[in-house]
Amino acid sequence: MVSAEKDLRFESSDVIRSEIEHVEAKVIGPFKQRLVQAEARSDLLTQAADDYRKLKERWLKELSEPEWARIINAAERAKKRKVTSRWQAENPTGKRYRAIWDAVKTNIHELGSDIANDVTPGARPWATFAVGISEAHLRATVDRSGGVVDLVLNSKDPAWNIQMFESLVVERDEIQRDFGNTLVWDAQEGSRKCRLRIEKRRLDLTEEDDVETIANFLAVCLVKLHEVFRKRLRRLRADME
């Protein structure tokens, strides 16, 4: 019995060690990259160093924890997320977000588009919409002063995102002509993602008229961006394969 428990403990340690190695490669590695890039910017260097230290301490602590403790801690974190989601849905700000996304979804349907069919309005400041390929999506975000719509290139391969971004840059003039407005092109150096953005500011989302304005803006931009990029992204992805 003692031998079996010892084998199980060793096996659990191997599993935990494997998870730590995975996290160091996928999570801590990017933090180290941020440290290198922030050498000339002391504010970012301080923040990145602090984030790296906290993250490393967390995972080293979990490595030393027994398997049963890790399971309990994971359950506690899931419980906290559930409580947070309930609070967001019931507090006034959460209700305001839900009202905005309900209005956005209604406006999208009135524009004759089906891109919001699979989107469930939530009590949060953002919502995502499909755009034709799994490596990208449309993301709409609101805050007190307005809203933003992004086309996010979010492949797990940062090189793919950069390559797709550069392919889109080649067609920049045609894209902005088709869209009917100027976009902000952000390669986000040092980040895995790339973005194309349009935003509307100088609003007060506690005012009903401004809520209607931003809901119309987000709906129109989401529909237009979907029309501009859905086929284009599929074509460019096929060319990259």
- CATH number of the domain where residue 104 is located: 3.30.1460
Q: What is the pLDDT of residues 113-156, one digit of tens each?
A: 999 988 887 888 899 999 999 999 999 999 888 899 999 999 98
Same domain, 217 and 100: yes
Residue 240: per-residue pLDDT = 87
Is residue 115 within 8 A of residue 129, CB to CB? The reply is: yes
Same domain, 10 and 78: yes
Same domain, 173 and 58: no
Is residue 33 within 8 A of residue 190, CB to CB? The reply is: yes
In this predicted model, which residue has the larger pLDDT, 28 or 207? 207
Q: 199 forms bridges with which residues in the sheet?
A: 148
Identify the domain containing residue 142 by its residue range: 92-240
Same domain, 73 and 110: no
Give the other-Cβ count within 10 Å of 129's Cβ.
22
Q: How far apart are the first and last CA of the chain?
A: 55
Q: What is the pLDDT of residues 160-219, one digit of tens each?
A: 999 999 999 999 999 999 999 999 999 887 678 889 999 998 888 778 788 889 999 999
Same domain, 119 and 232: yes
Is residue 97 within 8 A of residue 143, CB to CB? The reply is: no
Is residue 131 within 8 A of residue 230, CB to CB? The reply is: yes
Is residue 169 within 8 A of residue 185, CB to CB? The reply is: yes
